[in-house]
Amino acid sequence: MNPIEDAQISPAIAAARAAFSGWSLMPLESRIEFLRALESHYRSEKESIAQAISAETSKPLWESRQEADAMAAKIPISIEARAQRCAEQSRSLPDAVGHTRFRPHGVLAVLGPFNMPGHLPNGHIIPAILAGNTIVLKPSELTPKSGDIFTRAFAAAKFPPGVFNLVHGGKSTGAQLASHPQVDGILFTGSTAGGIALRRACTDHPEKILALEMGGNNPLIVYDPGDLAAAAYHIIQSAYITAGQRCSCARRLIVQRDQSDALLRQLVTMLRNIRIGLPGDDPVPFMGPVISAAAAEKLLAAQEDLIRGGGVTLVEMKRSSRHPALLSPGLIDVSAARNRTDAELFGPLLQLIRVDDFNAAIAEANRTAFGLSAGLISRNPDLYDQFQNQIRAGVLAWNRPLTGASSHLPFGGIGQSGNHRPGGSFAADYAAYPVASLESPIAKLPEKPLPGIVIT
């Protein structure tokens, strides 16, 4: 381990390990009281939390306020989810009582992303500490100040020392946390490349719980949509909210070849009128910058690659002179493109694909190694029935934005989008493990002993 990294990692893990016994043995209701105090802090400090998120990510304030609200809402949702999914169960058996109880893993490392640096780490942290685990958080190196939001919040709620701990660093710090012998699990939200690296770091540690929520090349099918303005609005919210920097954002728009012209005219008009800007702008923008100038450069290069490969520009993604990472939304028709790459382009760039019929739309949507989210905009319920039965994804939307997931439901994908450890309400499942026990109040001889045992 790098000595500089070890200087912060080892003390944080040691503090979490020291706190684990007392925290895990604390009655559940007592842990809930601490979480209620944390919820109160989140709600009372909503504006300062939102300001901090916007200052670091450059997201519009309206969106950061939504994120702060989601952080507070996660607490009652997690309490309800644990009661539903991890309640103690008992069953009378012929010669014993069978019990199923749930126990925490121990010290869990949470590795957070930059796009929602409050809400997404919080989505791991809350169910984990509710279950009795202690936490070491490493925020994204692109949004390190978000860690201060949690440090202040846990201090304000008067959590016992060591329940929450903060470290900083990049990929190597994450790998060191993942492979550390005193870390019992890793809860990760980020890129597929990052998730694969963490899995490799844990190759020799099958005992560690590993929950991976990764990216996607997410399809949105629009087929017989009805209201074209509503369809265009949902496309925009699906593809361009957070400047396209949500793992659930639509990356591929799939439309019926001979019925899409009116829809695309509506969409192009609305795209050209989207207001982009910085958090303090008035009037308020819909989109802010992507996370960095380097990210903007990669996206502009990806757009050029699409065009060189046969893509046709419907709306060009352009860099604003106001900020090196501020991009306008882009829409590229890649229907005739050669060798379309199955990749997550993490920004405001949407690829259009025209197909001849709905079966072809489903086949195109499933032409990906990812499987996070997928959506259908259609007024035909029979098409949705076919869609939800045949699509390969973990989060579906019908006549709703792909980005409108609910914490009351599971959230996670298949393929290269996850490892079957969905978050949302199902985070309770990876925050604790079940223990089965057969129990009798006294030991007694059976009426019919096993053959070959002589009882004297």
- Rounded Cα–Cα distance for residues 230 and 218 (Å): 20
Q: Is 69 helix (H, G, I), strand (E, B) or coil?
A: helix
- Say which amino acid occupies 399: N
Dump pLDDT digits (tens) for 216-230.
999 999 999 999 999
- Rounded Cα–Cα distance for residues 250 and 375 (Å): 8
The reported pLDDT for the residue numbered 216 is 96
Residue 40 has pLDDT above 90, yes or no: yes
The reported pLDDT for the residue numbered 4 is 56
Dump pLDDT digits (tens) for 158-211.
999 999 999 999 999 999 999 999 999 999 999 999 999 999 989 889 999 999
In this prediction the pTM is 0.94
Q: Kindly indicate the confidence band of residue 2, based on its pLDDT and cuts at 50, 70 and 90.
A: low
CB 218 within 8 A of CB 374: yes
- Rounded Cα–Cα distance for residues 334 and 340 (Å): 8
Dump pLDDT digits (tens) for 74-93.
999 999 999 999 999 999 99
The reported pLDDT for the residue numbered 7 is 81
The architecture that CATH gives domain 3-214+418-439 is 3-Layer(aba) Sandwich (3.40)
Contacts of the segment 401-405: beta carbons below 8 A, 24+ positions apart: 401/234, 401/237, 401/238, 401/241, 401/375, 402/218, 402/220, 402/238, 402/248, 402/249, 402/250, 402/373, 402/374, 402/375, 403/237, 403/238, 403/241, 403/242, 403/246, 403/248, 403/249, 404/237, 405/248, 405/373
Dump pLDDT digits (tens) for 299-321.
999 999 999 999 999 999 999 99
The reported pLDDT for the residue numbered 120 is 97
Which residues sit opposite 312 in a β-bridge?
333
Just list the catalytic residues. 213, 247
Dump pLDDT digits (tens) for 222-278.
999 999 999 999 999 999 999 999 999 999 999 999 889 999 999 999 999 999 999
Q: Kindly indicate the confidence band of residue 5, based on its pLDDT and cuts at 50, 70 and 90.
A: low
Tokens 């006549």 sit on residue: 399
Dump pLDDT digits (tens) for 99-115.
999 999 999 999 999 99
Residue 1 has pLDDT above 60, yes or no: no
Listed range (7-11, 229-233, 346-350, 365-369) with the worst mean pLDDT? 7-11
CB 119 within 8 A of CB 146: no
Q: Kindly indicate the confidence band of residue 3, based on its pLDDT and cuts at 50, 70 and 90.
A: low
Q: Do domains 3-214+418-439 and 218-398 have the same CATH topology?
A: no
The domain segmentation of the chain, as residue ranges, is 3-214+418-439, 218-398
Give the domain 218-398 fold: Aldehyde Dehydrogenase; Chain A, domain 2 (3.40.309)
